[in-house]
Amino acid sequence: MTKRIGVLRRHVEPEGGGVERGEAVRVLSSSGASSSSTSGLVDGFETFEPGRLLLNRRVIVTGAGAGIGYAAALLFAAHGARLVLCDLDEERLRAASDFIRNAGSGSCVTLAGDVTDEAYVQRVIDLAVAEFGGIDDLVLNAGFTWDGVLHKMSDEQWHAMLDVHVSAPRTMIKLAAPYMRDAAKAEIAANGTARPRSVLTVGSVSGTHGNAGQTNYAAAKAGVVGLTKSLAKEWGPFNVRANAVVFGHIETRLTADKGKGASIRYRGREVKLGIPRGGGVGDIVRASTALGRTGTANEAAGAMLMLLSPYASYITGQAVEVTGGGWM
């Protein structure tokens, strides 16, 4: 235990003293020597600054214009990330970018478009490489719901959920491979080690536990978990982690009262978002969760930050449920 505490202290304190606020810290190996090795708690992160867990990480975030994605973008920026933000809604993206720049908390670029369009995804990858020189983390958050009972569900409804929640992440991962898996392979060949990278997908308790009226969304979110766990096995040898964060009832447009009129335009069609009589559903969730309440977008973003951070360097292939103690 004493040895472990010493290792932890060396990750947050430079040799010879404490850390001033805002001072970046060179990562130290368990021997105390400066290292870019990927063994140990946070080894491989070139700098580690307390309070800025994603310092200089190059992160793509999809669905960053609203809800969980927006909260995540602001939080990642506050922790020093260099961001490429993606969303269908250009105005929302501009608002997120303006907020980050005005706060002076990080750097970001934006590109609006549809993640189910492979040409758009390629432009996102190219933008990240052109602006920041590579990609460290993918946060594949884009998605929406289009509910209906199975026997009345249209083929369009069914395939839309699979396209945006499963096929789009697969496309992003595939097109990012040269700058993640392949770049790591080259680093290992040259140096014997690769800098840490990660892929974070977004699941739902609908995918792990099922939900009436959401067979399409549930099937897609179950697929996300399978994709992520398989990717963790394929890319793990290259120091690329892959995890899914599985959300319960988080307060966003997707879980609000459908009668409030929130919607999304998808391939020329207006799709209404939310849950019929959403307030009643919220009451049920509050009564059935250990914490007795629904979650917020900021809390969801905090879970995502945790899985991207150096402290999660030995966590991969997991579907981490963030539910407030529901669905147990």
Give pLDDT tens digits along the chain (328 positions).
Answer: 444 433 333 333 333 333 333 333 333 222 333 333 333 334 455 556 667 999 999 999 999 999 999 999 999 999 999 999 999 999 999 999 999 999 877 799 999 999 999 999 999 999 999 999 999 999 999 999 999 999 999 999 999 999 999 999 999 999 999 999 999 999 999 999 999 999 999 999 999 999 999 999 999 999 999 999 999 999 999 999 999 999 999 988 787 777 776 877 888 787 878 777 655 666 777 788 999 999 999 999 999 999 999 999 999 999 999 999 999 8
Domain that holds residue 42: 1-50
Pairing label, strands 269-272, 197-204: unpaired
Cβ–Cβ under 8 Å, residues 146 and 160: yes
Total tally of structural domains belonging to the chain: 2
| 34 and 60, same domain (yes or no) | no
| 4 and 93, same domain (yes or no) | no
Query: Residue 173, CB half-sphere, CA atoms under 13 Å: how many?
Result: 25
| 144 and 272, same domain (yes or no) | yes
| 239 and 100, same domain (yes or no) | yes
Token pair for 77: 């920026």
| 155 and 200, same domain (yes or no) | yes
- Residue 245 lies inside a defined structural domain of this protein: yes
| 317 and 255, same domain (yes or no) | yes
| 26 and 137, same domain (yes or no) | no
| 44 and 117, same domain (yes or no) | no
Given 33, 50, 67, the domain boundary residue is 50
- Residue 328 lies inside a defined structural domain of this protein: no
Q: Three-state SS for 213?
A: coil
- Residue 12 lies inside a defined structural domain of this protein: yes
Q: What residues pair up with 250 in beta bridges, in sequence order?
A: 295
| 111 and 36, same domain (yes or no) | no
Residue 261 gets the label, from left (phi > 0), alpha (psi -120 to 50) or beta, of: left
- Residue 136 lies inside a defined structural domain of this protein: yes
Measured distance CA(189)–CA(197) in Å, rounded:
17
- Residue 176 lies inside a defined structural domain of this protein: yes
| 113 and 138, same domain (yes or no) | yes
User: What predicted TM-score, i.e. pTM, was given to this entire model?
Assistant: 0.83
- Residue 327 lies inside a defined structural domain of this protein: no
Given 217, 266, 311, 314, the catalytic residue = 217
Active site residue 217: yes
| 109 and 157, same domain (yes or no) | yes
Cβ–Cβ under 8 Å, residues 25 and 47: yes
- Among candidates 163, 276, 155, 143, which has minimal Cα distance to 213? 276
| 206 and 186, same domain (yes or no) | yes
What H or E segment, with its residue span, contains residue 66?
A: none
CATH code at 225? 3.40.50.720
Give 286's contacts (C-beta < 8 A, 6+ positions apart): 292, 293, 294
- Residue 280 lies inside a defined structural domain of this protein: yes
